[in-house]
A and B are shown apart, each in its own frame.
Chain A
């Protein structure tokens, strides 16, 4: 991996810190390697980049772009941790909260949830001015081992890409358009698909929220000892730099 790539490496800066990148890398990939965390929700390691949540918006050469899809460029000056950008990101996270139905205190993903963790990281501590859309979305508990509560779905599409590209199945897909665009399954309901609880798409790391639920394992880890109860989201990337 290293030998040839290092030769074609070039450098650019993120918030003034010099970062090395290789041809073909996105800004986010280079940042991750360098231990600079750029907030994200739809992007996930090992999956194709989608660029839809827009939480990773950074300024590159003065233009706002999605760090997960924008190729790194030599000498570019990227802004990441600025007040302005974090405010935009908070707006986006708030939009996702208001688009679905989120009741963290009764959600089994609480503490493991990336949306919730992102809200904490971005200081979403006050009630927002956005209206709640309170959609009426179905709960699909047809499958013996898996349940789907789309009330909490943030349309990140990680399950879609994981199922298609990693599991080679295509259990999930988008339907509809605009605000009606939703994640749906490849059949009448989940039981009618070839989804298995051992699929990568169903694993805990893929769905960032509490939408894809593995039955009978909820609350195994008590609240307080969960992933983001230990520290801010993105910490493990930032620790690389220390």
Chain B
């Protein structure tokens, strides 16, 4: 469908035979998860992995085992991009279709795969061996173009490397062997490093510098929950996911809520195109992440935690499982942690399945509960009633890491870094048209210019701060500062040079939001499609000056009436470019002739008929000699 993205997974998969699935096997999978409907995502992921799709008959069986209706199972199965109701290939190749990948040669890479495999993007080969599709940003913008091949990540693809990978797959090699022929014997950490570079360009004092093992947790066990919360409050730590809510206050709210149980959830679902900092922390500081969660658990009295890992980072699953195991073995998770009586806490890893919206707190909780990733109605807030109705602290990876470090080094140490209102350091993931894309840990307060000098992006013409839902600024704003009070960001900085087409970028971002809207509420579900179409009109040169007003007006409605942060920010690419790059829009707008709108394109309107009739129109074809 036109308002979807360029052919992506899901809707247009070639139908091949649905494999026969014995009921007993499905029942077995369900049983592994205690026939618990809240573990639906795990159940469906496993069915998908094993049978390449979630066929109608399996849905019925799953429903019967978990006490749901078939339509409820289908609701979940049809929500997530990585799950499919029609068979995918045994090897599923997902090319990352981020704007940065497009600017780094995605087209040639796609072509190479298509050539060798003999299928087009969106198709599955007739023998069911491969499927090829696009997927939105997988968090590898610093080494684009990238792709996921089943659970394996390939980076820095070129048409040559893509061709040889595709040939190897065709010759029967497993995706793992594309990475290393010794894959099986490598440690999970080595495997991750073989696939993905960390690109740490600047290590700061808090997160990426030397970090002693469990120093924060050791301090925390000697403190009362109130003391821990006070320390976090005094440090000035704010959530690093983008919204910037004061972490200490969040913990205090959750701690003061009387309930049978409390939960701590780590949001490892960074999905904002251009963000990849959590990926690096999860690879290089996984213990620190869990340490931070354990401290939060002690502060709010939680016994259970969930680490929600985005489906795109499945390559880190083994690594994280290993870390959890190790911590259990060392008495850092489980009963009586560090010998402290009654300090019980354990973490379960929950994998997502391809849905950007699950980075939203409520949607993430829904997903953990085995539901489609739809945001929850607020109030109640998660700190009052979150996961399964219990008070829940949700923080992102970076925030938990900071918390652990604050407990080690003290609130003042952290508070003294950065600026007023934005304390401490921040991980910036920087990519696009610059010499040194990667991760920079810097205190808050740097200007965009300073950042650009550091990364070798001085010839930038536009910088996207905070990903698509953030702000696109032009050179005249590069003096602005990266802080909560000026240019707030979850960490993504994307650099574009003067050769890039701003409207193309905006259209890409809008199609991203159209693809990722959960569809719950009208303005976001429908309005973003209209915005995307309006931008297309500008790009085709068919817009009139009034269309600028239309863009602003429609954006206003979407922002004001949407139910969650996605819709409240999705028009930002349009609004911030209108504001900061007005000439780009005026250059392609022209007043309509004779009051007649120029939007109707007779050429394309008659194209279908022309093809069917195998004749051309004497009246309308511009140049009949063609």
Closest to B11 in A: A180
Q: Are B69 and A173 in contact (CB under 8 A)?
A: yes
Closest chain A CB from B73 CB (angstroms): 9
Given contacts A88-B561, A178-B514, contact A69 B519 (CB under 8 A): no
What are the residues of chain A within 8 A of B533 when measuring CB–CB? 131
- Residue contact A177 to B78, C-beta cutoff 8 Å: yes
Let me know if A66 and B518 touch, CB within 8 A.
no
Interface residues of A in 176-200 (CB under 8 A from B): 176-181, 184-188
A52, A57, A184: most-surrounded residue (chain B CB, <10 A): A52
Asked whether, in the complex, the Cβ of B78 is within 8 Å of the Cβ of A176, the reply is: yes
Report if A99 contacts B (CB, 8 A): yes
| Distance of A65 from chain B, by nearest CB (Å) | 9
Q: Pick from A75-83, A90-98, A228-236 the stretch touching chain B.
A: A90-98
Q: Are B519 and A179 in touch, CB under 8 angstroms?
A: yes
Q: In the complex, A135 Cα to B2 Cα: how many Å?
A: 10
Decide yes or no whether B125 CB sits under 8 A from chain A.
no
Q: For the complex, what is the distance from the CA of A133 to the CA of B530, rounded to whole Å? A: 9
| Interface presence of A54 (CB below 8 A) | yes
A71 adjacent to B522 (CB under 8 Å): no
Residues of A within 8 A of B557 (CB): 88, 91-92
Whether a CB of chain B sits under 8 angstroms from the CB of A221 is no
Q: B459 at interface (Cβ–Cβ under 8 A)?
A: no
Using CB atoms, name the residue of chain A closest to B526: A95
Question: Which of A54, A55, A91 has a CB less than 8 Å from the CB of B563?
Answer: A54
| A175 in contact with B519 (CB, 8 Å) | no
Also in contact, A186 and B71, with CB within 8 A (given A130-B530, A179-B529): yes
Known: A95-B522, A130-B530, A177-B355. A52 touches B517 (CB 8 A): no
Contact of A186 with B70 in the complex, beta carbons under 8 Å: yes
Chain B residues numbered 517-531 whose CB sits less than 8 Å from any CB in chain A:
517-523, 525-527, 529-530
Query: CA A49 – CA B378 in complex, angstroms?
Result: 12
In the complex the two chains form, is B521's CB within 8 Å of A177's CB? no
Check B518 against A180 for contact (C-beta < 8 Å).
no
Of B4, B525, B562, chain A has the most CB atoms within 10 Å of the CB of B525
**How many Å from the CB of A25 to the closest CB on chain B?**
13
> Does A241 interact with chain B (Cβ within 8 Å)?
no
Whether a CB of chain B sits under 8 angstroms from the CB of A51 is yes
Given contacts A178-B525, A179-B4, contact A173 B561 (CB under 8 A): no
B74's nearest neighbour on chain A, judged by CB, is A175
Q: Is A64 an interface residue (CB 8 A)?
A: yes
Among B71, B518, B522, which residue has its beta carbon within 8 angstroms of that of A54? B522
Asked whether, in the complex, the Cβ of B521 is within 8 Å of the Cβ of A54, the reply is yes
CB–CB B377/A174 < 8 A: no
Within 8 A of B (CB), among A119-134: 129-131, 133
> Which residues on the B side are within 8 Å of A187 (C-beta)?
70-71
Let me know if A208 is at the binding interface, CB within 8 A. Answer: no
* Residue B75 at the chain A interface, CB threshold 8 Å: yes
Number of A interface residues, CB 8 Å?
40
The verdict on B79 contacting chain A, using a C-beta distance below 8 Å, is yes
Interface residues as binary, B69-86 with A (CB distance below 8 Å gives 1, 0 otherwise): 111101100111000000
Chain A CB within 10 A, most for which of B11, B519, B526, B550: B526
Residue A170 interfacial (CB < 8 Å): yes
CB distance from A157 to the nearest CB of B (A): 9
Residue among A135, A170, A172, A178 making CB contact with B518, cutoff 8 Å: A178
Report which of A66, A135, A174 forms a contact with B75, defined as CB distance below 8 A: A174
Name B42-76 residues within 8 Å CB distance of A.
56, 69-72, 74-75
Complex: chain A residue closest to B80, CB-CB: A177
Whether B527 and A52, one on each chain, are in contact in the complex, defined by CB atoms closer than 8 angstroms, is: no
Distance between Cα atoms of A135 and B515 in the complex (Å): 16
B525 near A181: Cβ-Cβ < 8 Å: yes
Q: Is the CB of A173 within 8 A of B563?
A: no
For B529, list chain A residues within 8 Å (CB).
Answer: 133, 179
**What's the Cα separation between A99 and B74 when bound, in Å?**
23
- B326: chain A residues within 8 A (beta carbon): none
Is A175 a contact partner of B75 (Cβ separation < 8 A)?
A: yes
Interface membership of B33, Cβ < 8 A: no
CA distance A181 to B166 in the complex (A): 34
User: With the chains together, A178 CA to B570 CA distance in Å?
Assistant: 13
Which residue of the partner chain B has the closest CB to A94?
B526
Complexed CA–CA distance, A126 and B312 (Å)? 46
The reply on A36 being an interface residue by CB < 8 A is no
Question: Once the chains bind, are A51 and B514 in contact (CB under 8 Å)?
Answer: no
Interface size on B, residues (CB 8 A): 41
**CB-defined contacts of A133 to chain B, threshold 8 Å:** 3, 526, 529
Query: Roughly how many angstroms separate A170 CA and B67 CA in the complex, as a whole number?
Result: 12
Alpha-carbon distance A49/B518, docked complex (angstroms): 18
Q: Which residues of A contact B560 (CB under 8 A)?
A: 57, 64, 88
Instruction: Give the docked Cα–Cα distance between A52 and B522 (Å).
Output: 7
User: Which residues of the other chain, B, contact A180 by a CB distance below 8 angstroms?
Assistant: 1, 4, 11, 519
Least Cβ distance of B608 to chain A in Å? 14
A187 to chain B, nearest CB (A): 7
CB A30 to nearest CB in B, in angstroms, measures 16
Chain A nearest CB, measured from B520 CB (Å)? 5
Q: Is the pair B563, A52 in contact by a Cβ cutoff of 8 Å?
A: yes
Which residue of B is nearest A174, CB measured? B75
A53 at the interface (CB under 8 A from B): yes
- Which residue in A64, A98, A176 is a CB contact (below 8 Å) of B526? A98
Task: Verify B523–A54 contact, CB threshold 8 A.
Answer: yes
Q: Which residues of B contact A174 (CB under 8 A)?
A: 75, 372, 519
Bound-complex Cα distance A175 to B515 (A): 15
Question: At the interface, yes or no: B346 with Cβ under 8 Å from chain A?
Answer: no
> Which residues of chain B come closer than 8 Å to A131, judged between CB atoms?
530, 533
Q: Indicate if B133 sits at the interface (CB-CB under 8 A).
A: no
Is B72's CB under 8 angstroms from A173's CB? yes
Is B554 located at the chain interface by the 8 A CB criterion? Answer: yes
Query: Please, how many angstroms separate the alpha-carbon atoms of A135 and B3 in the complex?
Result: 10
- Contact assessment for A173 and B71 in the assembled complex, using a CB-CB cutoff below 8 Å: yes
Q: Contact between B519 and A176 (Cβ–Cβ < 8 Å)? A: yes
Q: Are A172's CB and B377's CB within 8 A?
A: no
Residues of A within 8 A of B74 (CB): 173, 175, 184
- CB pair B519–A178 under 8 Å, yes or no, is yes
Interchain CA distance A66-B561 in the complex, whole Å:
8
CB <8 Å contact, B377 and A49? yes
Q: How far is the CA of A92 from the CA of B11 in the complex (A)?
A: 27
B561 engages A54 (CB within 8 Å): yes
A64/B514 in contact, CB under 8 A: no
Chain B residues lying within 8 Å of A185, measured Cβ to Cβ, are 71
Q: Which residue of A lies closest to B2 (CB)?
A: A133
Identify B72's interface contact among A49, A170, A176, A179, CB under 8 A. Answer: A170
* Smallest beta-carbon distance A189→chain B, Å: 12
**Out of A51, A95, A155, A186, which one reaches B69, CB within 8 Å?**
A186
- In the complex, what distance in Å separates the CA atom of A49 from the CA atom of B515? 26
- B517 x A179 contact (CB < 8 A): yes
Would you call B22 an interface residue if the criterion is a C-beta within 8 Å of the partner chain's C-beta atoms? no
Chain A residues at the B interface, C-beta cutoff of 8 Å: 49, 51-55, 57, 64, 66, 69, 71, 88, 91-92, 95-96, 98-99, 129-131, 133, 135, 155, 170, 172-181, 184-188
Leading 7 A-B pairs by shortest Cβ distance? A181-B519, A173-B71, A186-B71, A95-B526, A178-B517, A170-B69, A54-B561
For this complex, 21 residue pairs linking A to B, each with C-beta atoms less than 8 Å apart, are A49-B377, A52-B563, A92-B522, A92-B557, A95-B522, A96-B522, A98-B530, A129-B550, A135-B1, A170-B71, A177-B355, A177-B517, A178-B517, A178-B518, A178-B525, A179-B4, A179-B514, A179-B519, A180-B1, A181-B525, A186-B70
Given contacts A66-B563, A91-B523, A185-B71, 11 further A-B contacts (CB under 8 A): A88-B561, A92-B522, A92-B561, A99-B526, A133-B3, A155-B519, A177-B372, A178-B515, A179-B519, A181-B525, A184-B71
